[in-house]
Amino acid sequence: MSYKFTKEELEELLIDYNKIGIKEQKLDVPSEVCIWDETLRDGEQSPTVYLTLDEKIHLAKLLDEIGVKMIAVGFPAVSKTEKKIVKTIVNENFNNTIILGIARPRKEDIDECIDADLKEIVIFMPISPIFRKTLKQKPEEQLDMMREGIHYAIENGFKVNWVSEDGTRCDFQHLSNVFKTAIEAGAERIVLGDTVGVLTPLSTSHLIRRIKNEVITPLNKKVPMGIHTHNDFGLAVANTITGVFEGCTYPHTCVNGYGERAGNAALEEVATNLERIGIKTGIDLTRLPEISEVCEKYFNQPLALNKAIVGKHAFAHESGLHIAAILAHPLTYEPINPHMVGRRRKFYLGKFSGSKSVLHALQKKIKILDLDIPKDVIKKIVSEVKEVHGEASKKELRKSFNKIKEELDKISMGVGDKEFFKIVNKYAQPYVPDDFKPKKE
């Protein structure tokens, strides 16, 4: 199909402030990154989600095939079943990726990783003041624990990655000491964890610059940095992209943005954003819809229709003005070529459709080109299309919507406060002091 604008004209007509901003701020943006995916670990912690061994293996294989460089698959110390799952995945054949297991800086956790046949692990610890008080750990105790844990892991042949959990709410002095200790103890990579998603792009930029300038550079060691973000305020992808702009070459992702609470940075969104800016991810973007659909099925967590990149309506158009402009050139209302991410655009006919979109539909659906349809006939077609759309019963649509909501509730049921305390009360009554027991009348 021929369009109104040439490639040369488009370069003049489309202003790219992404490139301008990077250039003017003189950011040392990496040319490539390694995607570190957490779908099988943090993603599985989505409420009500449980993955079978076969599902985990299938997803791990797909992640490997599309170009993911590192996959965290589980926490061996959690249970014998979890360790068995991790061990089974480790012993599968992978072409592109490194399989990771996680551990706290404890000998027993690391021993479970040894039993799981892992070659590379992630050691993590919550380091913010609120966690230190909760866990009753002093800053010096944490540094000693992590130093001993990293040394023990390396002595047993592991490559070690360090993650500062809740690092984005930690006093900078301790955060700095933690990262220094990790690097000096032999960690191959360090990761900043925005565990409850409190950062904004501005604070992400500020914090990573401080870590680079005040921790990594003075040590004179080339230690790659990663970033792990959560989406509590809807900023996981934005903060991850900002982290990459500031030099983080190991961005953490989860397919479809799954994860605890509001989820993590979505693999498909992070990879597509980085690629369009010119940062290589190694990800085959055309296969993103495939892995998204498989993951949606295994997680039993339906995606929003307007979900970026992989949502059903991400490349759908109804407005007559929009469709007319797209027929002139798709870049008018589509910043991404749908074929780039394995998708195809769709035109919907409805109350917002205009003459050009209806004519286009006729040409596409009836497969007759160069139709010479009188204007008055086209107006009649447009009018009837809009009438049919308008006649769709809002009451019937609402009825269907409510049914869908009810079914969604069934697949995402949890235990509420009332049910929880009812169960607790059932077993704990004998241990409640008399002063707290309800008085009998």
From CA 279, how far away is CA 13, in angstroms rounded?
A: 23
* pLDDT attached to residue 276: 94
pLDDT-derived band at 366 (thresholds 50, 70, 90) equals: very low
From CA 21, how far away is CA 15, in angstroms rounded?
A: 11
Residues 283, 347 within the same domain: no
pLDDT-derived band at 399 (thresholds 50, 70, 90) equals: confident
Q: Dihedral of CA 140/145/146/152: which sign?
A: positive
Asked, for residue 346, whether it belongs to a domain, the answer is yes
- Return the SS3 of 138: coil
β-pairing verdict for 316-317 and 346-347: parallel
β-pairing verdict for 250-253 and 159-165: unpaired
The CATH number that applies at residue 252 is 3.20.20.70
Asked, for residue 306, whether it belongs to a domain, the answer is no
Asked, for residue 308, whether it belongs to a domain, the answer is no
Q: Tokens for 110, please give them.
A: 């690391």
Q: What CA–CA distances, in Å, run from 92 to 89, 95, 284?
A: 5, 10, 21
**Mean pLDDT of the region 351-367:** 53
Asked, for residue 3, whether it belongs to a domain, the answer is no
Compute the mean pLDDT over every residue in the chain, rounded to the nearest whole number: 87
Q: Any idea which of 38-52, 238-252, 393-407 has the lowest mean pLDDT?
A: 393-407
Q: Which domain holds residue 405?
A: 395-428
Residues 376, 404 within the same domain: no
User: Rounded to 5, what percent of the chain is helix, strand, coil?
Assistant: 55, 10, 35
* pLDDT attached to residue 403: 81
Asked, for residue 326, whether it belongs to a domain, the answer is yes
Torsion angle, CA of 35/36/37/40, rounded to 10 degrees? 160
169: DSSP letter: G
Residue with tokens 């990293």: 150
Cβ pair 314, 341 in contact under 8 A: no
The Cα angle at residue 64 between residues 193 and 249, in degrees rounded to 5: 35
Q: How many CB atoms lie within 10 A of CB 220?
A: 6
From CA 229, how far away is CA 78, in angstroms rounded?
A: 23
**Between 92 and 425, whose confidence is greater?**
92
**Between 34 and 345, whose confidence is greater?**
34
Residues 113, 63 within the same domain: yes
Residue with tokens 């929003």: 304
What is the amino acid identity at position 327?
L
Residues 337, 282 within the same domain: no
From CA 74, how far away is CA 37, in angstroms rounded?
A: 12
Residues 165, 268 within the same domain: yes
Q: Tokens for 105, please give them.
A: 């800086």
Residues 235, 102 within the same domain: yes
Q: What burial class does residue 199 get, using C-beta atoms within 10 Å of its C-beta: 0-12 exposed, 13-18 middle, 19+ buried?
A: buried
β-pairing verdict for 159-165 and 316-317: unpaired
Residues 56, 96 within the same domain: yes
What is the amino acid identity at position 189?
R
pLDDT-derived band at 333 (thresholds 50, 70, 90) equals: low
HEC sequence for 116-163: CCCCEEEEEEECCHHHHHHHCCCHHHHHHHHHHHHHHHHHCCCEEEEE
**Between 12 and 81, whose confidence is greater?**
81
From CA 395, how far away is CA 401, in angstroms rounded?
A: 10
Strands (E), 120-241: 120-126, 159-165, 189-194, 225-229
Residues 272, 358 within the same domain: no
Residues 354, 410 within the same domain: no
Domain boundary among 251, 269, 299: 299
pLDDT in tens, 82-117: 999 999 999 999 999 999 999 999 999 999 999 999
From CA 147, how far away is CA 186, in angstroms rounded?
A: 9
- Residue 98 is inside which H or E element, if any? strand 98-103
Q: Dihedral of CA 214/218/222/223: which sign?
A: negative
* pLDDT attached to residue 84: 96
* pLDDT attached to residue 367: 47
Q: Which residues pair with 103 in a beta bridge?
A: 123
Q: Any idea which of 305-309, 357-361, 373-377, 382-386 has the lowest mean pLDDT?
A: 357-361
- Return the SS3 of 33: coil
Asked, for residue 110, whether it belongs to a domain, the answer is yes
- Residue 102 is inside which H or E element, if any? strand 98-103
Q: Report how many domains make up the chain.
A: 3
pLDDT in tens, 301-315: 999 999 999 999 888
Q: Tokens for 39, please give them.
A: 């779908």
Residues 414, 372 within the same domain: no
Q: Tokens for 326, please give them.
A: 């797209």
Residues 287, 322 within the same domain: no
DSSP string covering 379-423 = HHHHHHHHHHHHHS-HHHHHHHHHHHHHHHHHHT----HHHHHHH
**Mean pLDDT of the region 32-39:** 98
Domain boundary among 274, 299, 324: 299
**Between 408 and 288, whose confidence is greater?**
288
Residues 183, 231 within the same domain: yes
* pLDDT attached to residue 291: 98
Asked, for residue 8, whether it belongs to a domain, the answer is no
Asked, for residue 437, whether it belongs to a domain, the answer is no
- Return the SS3 of 2: coil
What is the amino acid identity at position 196?
V
